[in-house]
Structure 1
Amino acid sequence: MTPYLVRRFLEALLVFLGVSLVIYSMVYVLPGDPVAALAGDRPLPPSVAKALREQHHLDDPLLTQYGRYLGGLLQGDLGTDFTGRPVAEQMADRWPVTLRLALTAWVIEAVAGIGLGVLAALRRGTWTDRAVLTFTIGAVSVPVFVLGYTAQVVFGVRLKLFPVAGDAAGWPSSYVLPALVVASFGLASVSRLVRTEVMQNLRADYVRTALAKGLTQRRVVVVHVLRNSLIPAVTYLAIDLGYLLGGTVIVEGVFNLPGIGQLLFQAVRGHIGPTVVGVSTTLILIFLAASVLVDLINSLLDPRIRCD
């Protein structure tokens, strides 16, 4: 187990260095002058602009800037924007909103997705299976912003079941509806993965042997089939948690939730490179941590993975 974890950690480290360098390079070559953007329509005095550029090392070579950023990152510093406010402080104000939204959506994905997948597999060929299939196809076919606005109109404006926008009502009232929208695509994917895996495992020899020994179908499905069928779904869910934390830009915009996604969007639009890089770096670390964690879980579910 230890060599396997060391190998996965080293792989994650290489991925982090490569992806973070690409993101830093993309921000570095973005058109426009971020210092000039601070003043809006009025140009900054040349002395002030020069001082800001020197303060943030904007004229240094790319690799020098990137190396300095990694040095600060090792000390827990995600950088400072051009107004002097630390990126970590900006994110701290918005993390609670994004975490509540992402975790609520993730729980909906996991519970409903696995449940629908198992149900469809056990009822293969019936109207239940066809209903789940139709739902999953519809969920992945509708763009998220269309689904978000439709949910707002139907459940917020007409039925008045949930707040239309904002987080004034707190959790869960303000978060259930946007979480359902965010979770729709992942829920569909999880249910299809689980359905396929469960149907394959139900035809396996060990299932027939267990049934021949007198075990009930419920016990066989829960103890044996489900364990072997969850590896693809667990992998997807772990990676999708990182996506949910960083990919809620559209939904946070539709429902006016002041989270990390909204901060990232505003930073990209305002050419605030340190904020873009700091937020992106945090999301990369979340993705990689989730990936290593899911590999560990999969290796526990199936010890053969550690031998690959």
Structure 2
Amino acid sequence: MRPALALLQRILGFVIVFFGVTFVIYFAVFSLPGDPIRALAGDRAIPQGVIDALHAQYRLDQPLWQQYSAYIGGLFHGDFGIDFRGRPVGEQMLARWPVTIALALTAWGIEVVLGVAIGVISALRKGTVIDKSLLALTVLASCIPVFVLGAVAQLVFGVSLGWLPVAGVSDGWPISYILPAAVIAVFGLAAVSRLVRSSVIESLGSDYVRTARAKGLGEPRVVGVHVMRNSLIPASTFLATDLGYLLGGTVIIEGIFNLPGVGNLLFSAIRSHEGATVVGVSTALILIFLITTIVVDALHAVLDPRSRLG
């Protein structure tokens, strides 16, 4: 009964977060001053009858709460809305998800490999120059604004050295994705490496490690099996949560590197005042993050039995 109650409370919390966040986004987008229909026309004159018809079509003549209710009702039927040019937002996202998913998974893989490696090396060389240098470099890199780091990476590795393309996906995976993925991954490396480092240091001083060493087990087996199995639990929880952030945090990078993903769609929609697209993409990203959080909770319970006992 207790686990079922905890699950019910968690689901209720997610429902409240979903409706609260989506309403705030919807309100922020559609309560802005100005008429989006007239803004799309620019300097061209539009007959008032056409404006009234478009307002009725997109429910812009209704109170905001009615517009939001109609939007939520459409979500239950898989409808993320239609932009002001008559294109379904869901179809636009469907065509762009492969690029965003490939970019996020590539960045996530870089975080996993480099973050774990840096954390383990720093823990095994605790207090040395290597330890301090690795931690300083990861923290320093994560402090640089993403647009600055992206522009510098383009200039150095794309323009000056010519190693990687600076924009687009014409070269396919992984060539077109390595540079933007590395830029995104930099900001998670510091957290992953620090989590792994602290967990490994704690495990190295535990009783079961001393017992394993007393039995004559080699250091590679002690570290690779006994230490890593317990040390990766905090890092795995963070990495699973960070995957949701990566899927939603590619907006700026996709804009800088001109990648035709969902982030670039949101970036373009904000610039062109396509409110329906902004709300639809934001809703999809919120759903992904909430689902990822549920999966992380389940994963943590599987990896760490103490959480189930708690």
- Smaller-chain TM-score bracket: over 0.9
Deviation at 1:2, TM superposition (A): 5.7
TM-score under structure 1 normalisation? 0.93
Who is 1:294 aligned against?
Answer: 296
- Using the TM superposition, name which of 9-18 and 253-262 deviates more: 9-18
Distance 1:147 1:140 in 2: 9
Deviation at 1:184, TM superposition (A): 0.7
Distance 1:126 1:260 in 2: 43
Who is 1:251 aligned against?
Answer: 253
- Using the TM superposition, name which of 174-183 and 128-137 deviates more: 128-137
Query: Residue by residue, what CA displacement relative to the aligned partner does 1:208-233 show, whole Å, maximum 9, x if unpaired?
Result: 23333443333333333323322332
User: Which of 98, 101, 110 is matched with 2:100 structurally?
Assistant: 98
- Using the TM superposition, name which of 133-142 and 49-58 deviates more: 133-142
Who is 2:53 aligned against?
Answer: 51
Mapped contact 1:136–1:192 kept (Cα < 8 A): no
Who is 2:276 aligned against?
Answer: 274
**Structure 1 gap segments, 5+ residues each:** none
Mapped contact 2:255–2:267 kept (Cα < 8 A): no
Mapped contact 2:146–2:184 kept (Cα < 8 A): yes
Distance 1:220 1:60 in 2: 66
Distance 1:166 1:65 in 2: 36
Is the counterpart of residue 61 in structure 1 residue 63 in structure 2? yes
Give the RMSD, CA atoms, in angstroms: 1.8
Deviation at 1:86, TM superposition (A): 0.3
TM-score under structure 2 normalisation? 0.93
- Using the TM superposition, name which of 234-243 and 212-221 deviates more: 212-221
Who is 2:37 aligned against?
Answer: 35
Distance 2:38 2:156 in 1: 44
Number of aligned residue pairs: give it.
308
Who is 1:203 aligned against?
Answer: 205
Distance 1:305 1:28 in 2: 43
Mapped contact 1:104–1:176 kept (Cα < 8 A): yes
Q: Aligned AA for 2:241?
A: I
Distance 2:236 2:134 in 1: 20
Q: Aligned AA for 1:93?
A: A
Query: Residue by residue, what CA displacement relative to the aligned partner does 1:135-172 show, whole Å, maximum 9, x if unpaired?
Result: 21221122212211211121111221111211111111
Mapped contact 1:247–1:261 kept (Cα < 8 A): yes
Mapped contact 1:12–1:292 kept (Cα < 8 A): no
Note closer, same or farther for the CA distance 1:262–1:196 as it changes in structure 2 (3 Å cut).
same
Question: Structure with the greater relative contact order (CA < 8 A, sep ≥ 6): 1 or 2?
Answer: 1
User: Which of 213, 216, 219 is matched with 1:217 structurally?
Assistant: 219
- Using the TM superposition, name which of 142-151 and 211-220 deviates more: 211-220
Distance 2:153 2:303 in 1: 38
- Using the TM superposition, name which of 91-100 and 281-290 deviates more: 91-100
Distance 1:210 1:15 in 2: 46
Distance 2:22 2:304 in 1: 32
- Using the TM superposition, name which of 232-241 and 286-295 deviates more: 232-241
